[in-house]
Amino acid sequence: MKDQKKAVWLALGAVACWSTVATAFKLSLNYFSPAQLLWVATLTAVILLLLLLAVQGRLSELLQTFKQRPAFFLLAGLMNPTLYYLVLFQAYDRLPAQQAQTLNYTWAITLTLLAVPFLGQTIRRQDWIAILLGYTGAMVIATRGDLLSLQFDDPLGVALALISTFIWAGYWILNTRNQADPLISISLSFVLALPMITLATAILSDFQMHSWQGWVGAIYVGVFEMAIAFMLWLMAMRYAENTARISNLIFISPFASLILLRFLVGEQIYPATLVGLVMIVAALLIQQLKKSA
């Protein structure tokens, strides 16, 4: 049953969750390594998702769905959350959160590029404008506005933030071939990823996690970034009469996040970050206008 008002409130709830996670990432990484943060967050998300499915009486669907396409779901779990968050958290560990977060918002532009070879789609004039504008905005952020020098404070951190967009876009391209229930699919991805992330944590870090602040932050990430935000957004899409109006609410998130980073993390927000973010958001809006035309 469609209910646009309810859809808006649910979407705003998801946006509120996503607005806080850059701050949570940065604060948590003061106490945990990227692999440790991902392990605790994923474990938390798995517990929540399994509890939700248990309440709905749908746990048996996990095994049934997995048996239909085991290789597909193993690859999905490898891409998200395993590789995506390992790379993204490394970027947050090396860069100011405002840079890592804003560079990560170029994933939708990356998706346009990857859709050409993998989905057979064409790039139209509006897409090229969006790509040019979006990646110019990314360069403004990465160089703090000194485009001509091409000097990066942390080239590896910038590269990791951009690589994460390719992994995330690739994950959604993979899911265009997935007809399974979205909640079952995301639950399978996280359940299958947990052993992979456990191994990665053992290799890249350790399990000596004694800081309560790190546990609180990682659990927060698992609850609000990986579980609740997804469920709220999924419900909003189902109730929405006009999905474009709901999708546009996502653009509130990066600006709200910058405010939280300024006051909770203490990051000085660079003018170049604001300029670059406006360019990236404008690029994303241009893509949406093209799609609705």
Q: Does pLDDT of 16 surpass 60?
A: yes
Closest CA to 115 of 279, 292, 276, 287: 287
Answer with the residue of higher pLDDT: 5 or 213: 213
Q: What are phi and psi of 270, to 5 degrees?
A: -75, 140
Q: Taking the C-alpha atoms of 278, 91, 107 and 41 in order, what is their torsion angle to the nearest 10 degrees?
A: -110
Q: Count CB atoms within 10 A of the CB of residue 47.
A: 15
User: Burial code of 87-104, b = ≥16 C-beta within 10 A, e = fewer?
Assistant: bbbbbbbbbbbbbbbbbb
**Which tens digit of pLDDT belongs to each residue from 105-139?**
888 888 888 888 888 888 888 889 989 999 898 88
**3-class SS at 122?**
coil
Residue with tokens 């359940």: 191
**Which tens digit of pLDDT belongs to each residue from 165-192?**
999 999 988 988 888 888 899 999 999 9
Q: Does pLDDT of 74 surpass 60?
A: yes
Burial of 194: CB neighbours in 10 Å, binned 0-12, 13-18, 19+: middle
- The residues, ordered by sequence, that sit 6+ positions from 39 with a Cβ below 8 Å of its Cβ are 197, 198, 201, 207, 218
71-75, 193-197, 249-253: least confident range: 249-253
Answer with the residue of higher pLDDT: 290 or 4: 4
Q: What angle do CA 139, 172, 48 make, to 5 degrees?
A: 110
**pLDDT confidence tier of residue 292, bands split at 50, 70 and 90:** very low
Q: Does pLDDT of 245 surpass 80?
A: no
The encoded tokens of residue 244 equal: 């474009």
Torsion sign across C-alpha atoms 32, 35, 41, 44: negative
How much is the average pLDDT of 68-80? 96
Q: Which DSSP state fits 221?
A: I
Q: How far apart are CA 215 and CA 209, in angstroms?
A: 8
- pTM of model > 0.85: yes
**Which tens digit of pLDDT belongs to each residue from 52-64?**
999 999 999 999 9
Helical segments of the chain, H only: 4-28, 34-55, 60-68, 70-77, 84-94, 97-104, 107-119, 125-142, 155-174, 182-204, 212-220, 229-239, 243-247, 252-260, 271-292
The encoded tokens of residue 265 equal: 């993390």
Q: HEC states along 15-40? A: HHHHHHHHHHHHHHCCCCCHHHHHHH
Q: Report the chain's mean pLDDT, rounded to a whole number.
A: 89
How much is the average pLDDT of 231-252? 76
